[in-house]
Every structure is written in C-alpha cells, then in structure tokens.
Structure 1
Amino acid sequence: MGNLPYLRVIYAFTLIILMGCKEVAPKKGEIIKSKQEVLVKETEVVSKPAERVPPLRVLADTTFVRLADYSNDFMYDLRYATTNNFLKSKVYDCPECYTRVKTAKALLIANEELIKKGFKIKFFDCYRPNSVQYKMWAIVPNPQYVANPVKGSIHNKGGAVDITLATLDGRELDMGTDFDFFGKRAYHDNYDLPKVILDNRKLLKETMESHGFWSIRTEWWHYNLSAATNDKVANFKWECTD
C-alpha cells in the first residue's frame, strides 16, 4: 500500500501522454485528404480545368494547349469558324481556341486579374494554322488586313489573340466598333470617342500590357505576346469533336 501514491502518479502521467498523442495524431484519412488538397492547388489556375489534363507547369512553353481545358472563365465567339467576319467566309473547320503554353499562362493570369474587377476575356481568334492563313490570303490578298502566309503572323505562332471584354454575366463592353472593323474608329490613338469606350479600351490594353502583351495601333482587339515573337510559324491542326 505504501507504493500506491507513486503508482497513481505514474498512471496519471501515462494518461496525459496518451491523451496528448491522441490529440496530435491525425485521424484516419486526413493525410490522404491533405495530399489531394495539395494536388488541387498545384493544378488549379483560375477555375477547375478538365480532368486528366496535364498542368501547364509540366509542359514546354511551346506546346499547344486548348484554353478551355484550363479554365471555365473565358468566353468565345470564334468568328473565323463562321461567316460572320470580314472575309464573309468560314475558314476554320470548327471553333477552338488554342495557344502556346506561355501564351496560355499569361492569358490565365490576366483574366484572373480582370475577374477581380468584374470582367473577363472573350476571344474572337486565337492560334491560327498557317494553312488557314493561306486560305485568308486567297480571299483577301492585302497585307493591310491579312498577313502574308509566306512570312506568317504571330497568330500562326500561337502567340496572338483577338479579344474583347465582357461582364461576368456575359455582356460585351462597348469598344466602339465590332471585331475586324478596319477604320480609324478602331485605332488605339483615336481619342475622339465617348469616355466609356476609351475607358473600356484602356482597361483591356493596360491589363494585357502588364502581362507581357503588346498591341497594334490600328486594332483595339489584337494582342501579341512579346515572348512569342521569335517562335516558329506552325501548322498544328486541332481535331473537331462534333
């Protein structure tokens, strides 16, 4: 009986250690869940991409990717897959928006910034196979409107996009003209326009330029990624799923 107080102290101390371990030890499944959360953070860019699509970080910058596989936050009105364009002719077999990986990365970040302000990017044209450039040249062989396919354009390199801005509920902002309007009203340096139009163009231009793009003076919708200027002209063609 003389050892009873001593045994009680040891018992109490053991209980404290066991309880502490119980509180610190993860519950069954918690470690697996934690790893899944890390994977999501590593692959997620803006919104949930398509399943089984490799994250952009593991792809070479010159790889062609489909933007819709990496974000649900863009809008599309790919005009050259319709007859609603200045050519009055459909030159794409089906509408898709592809770019090089480095262009996609810049677009995703730019769009994320715009979403915080209540807007998002809407695409009229993205990567354009060089064979399509030849089709366009055959219809309008004028370098003022269509790049000579022999030299190619940055669209053919996967580094150019034709875009506008829309509200998050899909309403296009007023940019003063429609896409592919060839006239002074579409010029960036034409300031003889209502303030709301100038403000909309300024938002688009400043956002794109802050993420590595540069514009063409005569086309408010056209943006080239500086890092893609020296890339090779490509003729990669996507498959039509329909």
Structure 2
Amino acid sequence: MKKIILPLMVVLFTACKEKNEKREVSFPEEKTVETPKDTLTKALEEEPALLSLDDVADTTFVRLRDYNRDFVYDMKYATDDNFLKTKVYDCAECYVRAKTAKALIAANEELMGQGYRIKFFDCYRPHDVQKKMWKIVPNPQYVADPAKGSIHNKGGAVDITLVDTDGNELEMGTGFDFFGKEAHHDYTGHPDEVLKNRKLLKETMEKHGFWSIRTEWWHYNLTSASNGKVANFRWDCE
C-alpha cells in the first residue's frame, strides 16, 4: 500500500509544480503621467505660425506678436495703471508700422544676445485715443496735442523698458510715465546700475534707427517715421 501512495504523491506534486510554473501573474497596467507643459510654451504653440515681414510694405500696420514672439508686453493704456488713471484702449495690442517692427526685432535680437528683452508699455496709438487723452490731460508737457499728432499716432513710436531672462524689469530709476527730472536721460543722480541700464537701452535703440526724448527714458521714435502720416487705424479686440 505504501508503494502505491508514494508514486501517486510524486505525480501530484509534479503536476502542481508545472501548473504553477505556467501560470502568468498579471499586474495593473502602468499609466504614463504627462508633465503639464510650461504655460508660456503651451500658449505659444497654440498661436498661429509666425508671419514674415519680407513682403509687407513699410507703411502697413502690423501686430508685432504675429511676426515675433520674443517681446514682453504690459500695455498700460489698456488698464488704469497709467498717469491718466483711466483705460483708453479697448484691449491690449501692440501695433506698429512694418518698418518700425523690423527695427524693433533687430534691436531685440541684439539685446537677447546679452540676456535681455524689450518690454512694451505702449505702441501705435490711434488718433481718436490721442484726442481722448488730450481731453483728460490737455497739457502738451504730458500729452501731444492731437492737432499736431504724436509719432505714436504714426506707428513709429514705442514706450519700452528692458527685462532679464526671468522677465524681471531692469531698474531704470523711475517708473513708466514719471514726469520729473529723475526720468530725464541727462539726470545723473541715479546709482551706476540704473545709468548702465539706461545707457544699454538708449545705445541699442539708437543703433537701430531710433531716437529718444530727453525727458522720458522709456520713449523712442523711429527716425524714418517722424514724417509719416497721423493715422486712426483701429484694431479688433479678440
């Protein structure tokens, strides 16, 4: 009887062992977790492809971000954060004449090689907006008389500053639209860092065809646009 039981146990053990060896153990399927893209990168990818200025007439108005995405924007007159203390643009956009855009892109490329970028406070200004500003502050010391118009109205002037690679504004001694002697280019009472930053901005802009206003460190006019026509081109808000 013992001789019969022992071979039977061996057979059963071998069968169970083979069965266990053939059994496949399944684990829950691993899910790949995608890291969310950087917000700015995602936003830029959703933008339409960049346009080219090669075949655009110099006097044509263009939206700058359609042709280059290396700039930073804080359009002050589309907010109440300005010396007027009121919003005068329906929405924030930076339009300029095509020839102004080309000069700005060239200047910005040079600045980017040094770790900086141009940040805009104001660009082209419709003549109707100039009239609105004059009605609020009818003082030629602060607002150009709409009867004569401003180079902003011609698409050849911009109000700007510089930011570093992290988007932080460089110290310029005063804020935008500060109307005092400290905002003048010839004011030398600022720390060396401020004077250096202003010099970098001024020399770079002048190198690319712009000229400055003595009393406003942020304002630059494209020389070739000074004889242009005052315009009242209005853009659509998206």
Q: TM-score, normalised by structure 1?
A: 0.78
Stretch of structure 1 that moved more, 47-56 or 119-128: 47-56
Pick from 84, 87, 91 the counterpart of residue 84 of structure 2. Answer: 87
Indicate the residue corresponding to 1:109 in structure 2: 106
| 1:75-101 deviation per Cα after TM superposition (whole angstroms, max 9, x unaligned) | 011000000000001000000000000
Counterpart residue number, 2:67: 70
List gaps (5 residues or longer) in structure 2: 1-43
CA contact (8 A) 2:144 2:150 kept: yes
Structure 1 segment 221-240 matched on structure 2, within 5 A: 221-240=218-237
Tell me the C-alpha RMSD between the 2 structures: 1.5
User: Is this contact kept in 2: 1:77–1:124, CA < 8 A?
Assistant: yes
CA contact (8 A) 2:51 2:66 kept: no
Contact 1:50 / 1:70 at 8 angstroms: preserved in 2?
Answer: no
Q: Point out where structure 1 has 5 or more consecutive residues left out of the alignment.
A: 1-46
* CA distance in structure 1 between the partners assigned to 2:51 and 2:65 by the alignment: 13
Q: Distance in 2 between matches of 1:48 and 1:213?
A: 32
Number of residues of Structure 1 aligned to a counterpart in Structure 2? 195
CA distance in 2, matches of 1:198, 1:142: 29
**In structure 1, C-alpha distance between the alignment counterparts of 2:210 and 2:232, rounded to whole Å:** 22
Identity %: 69
**TM score, norm. by length of structure 2:** 0.80
Q: What CA deviation, in whole Å up to 9, does each residue of 1:129-184 have, x standing for no partner? A: 00000000000000000000111000000000000000021000000000000000
Q: What's the offset of the Cα at 1:192?
A: 1.2
1:141-180 alignment, distance < 5 Å: 141-180=138-177
For 2:125, the aligned partner's letter is R
Write the deviation string for residues 188-226 of structure 1: whole angstroms up to 9, x where unpaired.
Answer: 000111000000000000000000000000000000000
* Aligned pairs (5 A) from 1:14-53: 51=48
Amino acid at match of 1:99: V
**Distance in structure 2 (CA, Å) of the matches to 1:50 and 1:57:** 20
| Aligned-partner Cα distance in 2 for 1:216–1:109 | 21
Q: Select 1:140's aligned residue among 110, 124, 137.
A: 137
Partner secondary structure for residue 57 of structure 1: coil
Contact 1:49 1:69 survives alignment (8 Å): no
Larger radius of gyration: 2
